[in-house]
Amino acid sequence: MDALIKTIRPNKPSEPKERPAELDPSEFLAAAVRADQPRPSRAEAEHAVQTLLSYIGEDPSREGLLDTPRRVVEAYDELYQGYHQCPAEVLNRTFGETAGYDDFVLVRDIEFTSQCEHHMMPFYGKAHIAYTPVERVVGLSKLARLTDIFARRLQTQEHLTAQVAAAIDEILKPRGVAVLIEAEHTCMSVRGVAKHGAMTFTSRFTGVFRDNPAEQQRFLSLVRGPNR
């Protein structure tokens, strides 16, 4: 009798690669805070800081802390100014004098600092952004400004990566976008497991960078080049 041989892992036909879920354009085409949106007053925000000082065991009335609530609220106005800025306005001016340029444009090592939405603690690092334009290009500094707008909001690194890529893809409509972000999270390095120096990498690819492995590899090679 012939032995019956069963395949442990039967071969399955390859399934088409799923495309990433699309973001709601309202996330990146307009400011996150509407003019008519109800918000606490500055006095209420400063009182909240006083409450936190009392919670940790401090005396908010001692000399060194008298101006702390005001300073904290002013710092928040700066750290979270991205809620009041419009990403689409940053990318809406383009230039057509490219002399037929048909390769991708890469801006590497865009430094940023953001705040994690889970613990409201900083994460910081570098963003690397490339796009393959169709006839028109955007000013190079605009990619850095776009990164800062999204970074100055509470979120995760994954969401930050997806937002930057989606905004460029939707507004500039290039042949493809590549975004790679590397960052250290203080919620992991100075609390919890306290692993200083641990880096988190996230990426998002659209168009030719998603569909052409050679283009994706060329982008990664330039980002990780020997001159870094």
Model confidence pLDDT, tens digit, residues 113-147? 999 999 999 999 999 999 999 988 999 999 999 99
The pTM is what?
0.84
Same domain, 214 and 102: yes
Structural domain contains residue 56: yes
Do 47 and 105 belong together in one domain?
A: no
d(CA 24, CA 44): 32
* Active-site option among 118, 135, 158, 217: 118
Number of domains in the chain: 2
Q: Where are the alpha helices (DSSP H) in the chain?
A: 42-55, 68-79, 87-91, 140-151, 157-172, 186-189, 207-211, 213-223
Instruction: Put residue 226 in one of left, alpha, beta given phi > 0 → left and psi -120 to 50 → alpha.
Output: alpha
- Final residue in a domain of this structure, among 79, 104, 136: 79
User: Model confidence over 4-14: pLDDT tens digits?
Assistant: 444 444 444 44
CATH code for the domain in which residue 50 is found = 1.10.286.10
Tell me, yes or no, whether 21 lies in a domain: no
d(CA 122, CA 184): 9
- Domain range spanning residue 102? 93-223
- Do 151 and 197 belong together in one domain? yes
Q: List Cβ neighbours of 39 (8 Å cut-off, separation of 6 or more).
A: 33
Whether residue 140 sits in one domain with residue 57: no
Backbone angles phi, psi at 18, to 5 degrees: -75, 140
Active-site residue identified among 50, 89, 119, 159: 119
Of the residues 115, 155, 185, 216, which is catalytic? 185
Per the document, the length of the chain is 228
Band the pLDDT of 37: cuts 50, 70, 90.
confident
